[in-house]
Amino acid sequence: MEDATQHEQASPEIQARIRKSFDSQGLMAHLGARLTHIGPGRVHIELPARPEVTQQHGYFHAGATSAVADSAGGYAAFTLFPEDTSVLSVEYKINLLAPAVGDRIEAIGTVLRPGRTLTVCRLEVLAVQEERRKLVASGQQTLIRVD
């Protein structure tokens, strides 16, 4: 079911803050991940297929899948935090539903419940092959606002 707000863009100031933080993450750069959508309470991160992010059977590695999901949720929460704060993951759980195979994976973090201290996000990862999308992982995450 498509949410009418899922394509809404965050303000230019929030987008710049998210991009600056994302660009400082060594792991995301190492993996080759890129931000593709920054909206209020919703962030998409894509990871192109390359041998360095796969496991022995050629599927996207669960570690790479989980890492982009964690960052998508963290940045979704961060879009709703005040300017002079930061974000840290407190915990997350992810279920790997199917082997992730495709041209790329797309992690989507969506805020379920914003809070003054703790925020809860839904995590989804889709494998994309020639524009066909398949849900391959689903999870939930709790994040803390750091002043």
**80: CATH:** 3.10.129.10
By CB atoms closer than 10 A (0-12, 13-18, 19+), residue 138 is: middle
Summarize pLDDT for 51-88 with one digit per residue, the tens. 999 999 999 999 999 999 999 999 999 999 999 999 99
Burial track 23-55 (b if 16+ CB lie within 10 A, e otherwise): eeeeebeebebebebbbbbbbbbbbebeeebee
Spatial contact of 39 and 9, defined as CB atoms under 8 Å apart: yes
Residue 68: inside a domain, yes or no? yes
Summarize pLDDT for 85-110 with one digit per residue, the tens. 999 999 999 999 999 999 999 999 99
Q: How many domains does the chain have?
A: 1
Structure tokens at 94: 């992810």
- Expressed as residue numbers, the domain containing 123 is 12-146
